[in-house]
Structure 1
């Protein structure tokens, strides 16, 4: 088997052992035995155990992202945030050892974690463009991510018994960062500023100079946080 195939086999073995471990440590010896390779082969591909665990985190993120990419929009951007939250929690509870490595172990997943962040930012952007975001896009994404991660790690630690904790926290966070669909949107100046800022993206109107566009974005940012 080629090097790529061997590396993938080791990753799959490590991932399977982690999933079956219930959070207990997994040794490199056990991974080597499950993958049918010797320790020198594992170290050739990953350097050491930390290198293997870093690679497993990336592998776990890729599985998580595959699910996120395949999820269709509901047509309601706020509902998409709600469904995304629930899917995130379910992934963590279904893969607790993976999740603990991904979000509780202080490890980095490079491009994969950056893509997960971009997906969340994109969802928050859609809410902003609909005029339903109470806070700036990056603030909303950070609040949602922090709360969802905290809830998931808490549920994993508790054995996943208190699912109501997730739904209550989710609704509290969504109420803090989004408006109800029936709310009188024109009365929310900050929501309109956020929507306009999101619609402009990185470019200002062609009728404005670069300096004017920059000033406009600064003004909108100030209004958005009022």
Structure 2
């Protein structure tokens, strides 16, 4: 694709995005796009095939814009802080760009675009950091599905019913409910201290009552090992 063709394609995308914000996807026509972009109908069809192809391209453009701020963000020391910011930014983008958002999460297959897959990888990366820190209660892929479902549902609800009862604080309440289910809020103890506490607990139990499955000699060895681990 030449620079001229690339510029024309971007002009059509930008013009469509502005129209979407004003009139929405249902009311927008290819003719409206042509008038806004100053191009002919065959030009739009050449680049996008039909209206659906144009809307899918605009949805991919929405993911690119959404990722812009995420790519430039410096990771925080606490991955949970990054996760909280990611949730808030997701909701904020949807409320600031409702027409884009409805396309991004309302048209089948738009989440298969390269930018959408990158967004998913970034979410998984955050969840893997939390898993490595011992603060994630589900496998990363399962947690990602739960977060995405909650965030998208919350955003679409706020877009369509901004004045519904409880809407004002819905995003924050949903975030805290989901995070409470998925994440440990506090840093876990170090591996060494965790082992020490477990050893002390088991040592106390076995000191009062030997394990019946073990011989006296095996019980003695186990108590000795637990004593060393508890120091």
Provide the TM-score with structure 1 as the length reference. 0.77
Q: Which structure's residues are more often helix, by fraction?
A: 2
Q: Report SS of the residue matched to 2:75.
A: coil
Which stretch shows the higher mean deviation, 147-156 or 68-77?
68-77
1:1-80 alignment runs, 5 A limit = 2-21=4-23, 25-80=27-82
**Number of matched residues?**
189
Residue matched to 1:82: 84
**Is the CA contact (8 Å cut-off) linking 1:85 and 1:170 kept in structure 2?**
yes
Larger radius of gyration: 2
**Is the CA contact (8 Å cut-off) linking 2:127 and 2:144 kept in structure 1?**
yes
Shift of 1:39: 0.4
Q: Indicate whether 1:171 and 2:176 are aligned.
A: yes
Q: Report SS of the residue matched to 1:37.
A: coil
Q: Report SS of the residue matched to 1:78.
A: helix
Q: Which whole-Å CA distance do the structure 2 matches of 1:160 and 1:2 have between them?
A: 45
Which stretch shows the higher mean deviation, 86-95 or 11-20?
11-20
Q: Which of 135, 138, 144 in structure 1 is aligned with 2:138?
A: 135
Deviations 1:118-173 (A, max 9, x none): 00000001111111111111111111111001100110011377231110010110
**Is the CA contact (8 Å cut-off) linking 2:34 and 2:41 kept in structure 1?**
yes
The change in CA–CA distance for 1:182 and 1:118 in structure 2 (over 3 A counts) is: closer
The change in CA–CA distance for 1:51 and 1:24 in structure 2 (over 3 A counts) is: closer
**Is the CA contact (8 Å cut-off) linking 1:101 and 1:107 kept in structure 2?**
no
Q: Which whole-Å CA distance do the structure 2 matches of 1:188 and 1:160 have between them?
A: 48
Q: Which has the higher contact order (CA 8 A, sep 6+)?
A: 1
**Is the CA contact (8 Å cut-off) linking 2:56 and 2:107 kept in structure 1?**
no
Q: CA RMSD in A?
A: 2.2
Shift of 1:107: 4.1
The change in CA–CA distance for 1:188 and 1:175 in structure 2 (over 3 A counts) is: farther
Provide the TM-score with structure 2 as the length reference. 0.76
The change in CA–CA distance for 1:158 and 1:22 in structure 2 (over 3 A counts) is: farther
**Is the CA contact (8 Å cut-off) linking 1:140 and 1:177 kept in structure 2?**
yes
Shift of 1:82: 0.8
Residue matched to 1:149: 152
User: Structure 2: any 5+ residue segments left out of the alignment?
Assistant: 196-231
